[in-house]
Amino acid sequence: MAVFLLLALTLAPLVTPFVVAGAALALAKRAYDREPGSGLRLPDAASCALVAVLGGAAAFGAYAEGVMRGFYILDPDQMCAAAGARGDHVVTRPALPVSVQCVTWKGEGTELVPGWVNPVVYGGLALCVLALGTAVSSGLRRRPVQSSGSSTGAISS
């Protein structure tokens, strides 16, 4: 399981642009195929699911980009030198908010995670949750109403 997680975090920054572009193209095709003059209407469940995939992929890719800034195979302290940051050792906090710092013995830290990572993670998560909620709501709203007739399932003669 740990190997799968490490592989997913390693490949996510590379795969995320393709997933986001695919979802965006699918949304654009759905908008293009829509009947002209149909006016404004609430999105259907499939469109909301595509938006949820788009937001979730962006959030996961940004999170992986931030967390992997604190990962170095040989020696974690060499990561600071490789990044050109001042610091003697690395302090990582891979939880939210994502933060990886090179810290000197005096306590001064240099952040290695780019400033765009945490806003994309939070925005993507919010978009994903809202889109999934809207998809469920839209799916329930468009479900056909079943009639509750007086048949009880018993056979009458």
47-96 pLDDT per residue, tens: 999 999 999 999 999 999 988 876 666 576 677 777 777 777 777 776 78
**DSSP-H helix ranges across the chain:** 2-32, 45-67, 76-83, 117-141
For residue 47, give every residue at least 6 positions away whose Cβ sits within 8 Å of its Cβ, in sequence order, or none.
Answer: 27, 30
What integer best gives the mean pLDDT of the chain? 83
- Say which residue, 155 or 109, is predicted with more confidence: 109
pLDDT for 123: 96
Alpha-carbon distance of 123 to 117, in angstroms, equals: 10
What's the angle, vertex CA 122, arms to CA 49 and CA 107, rounded to 5? Answer: 155
What's the angle, vertex CA 44, arms to CA 40 and CA 47, rounded to 5? Answer: 100
Cis ω on the peptide bond leading into residue 97 (within 30° of 0)?
yes
Q: pTM for this one?
A: 0.77
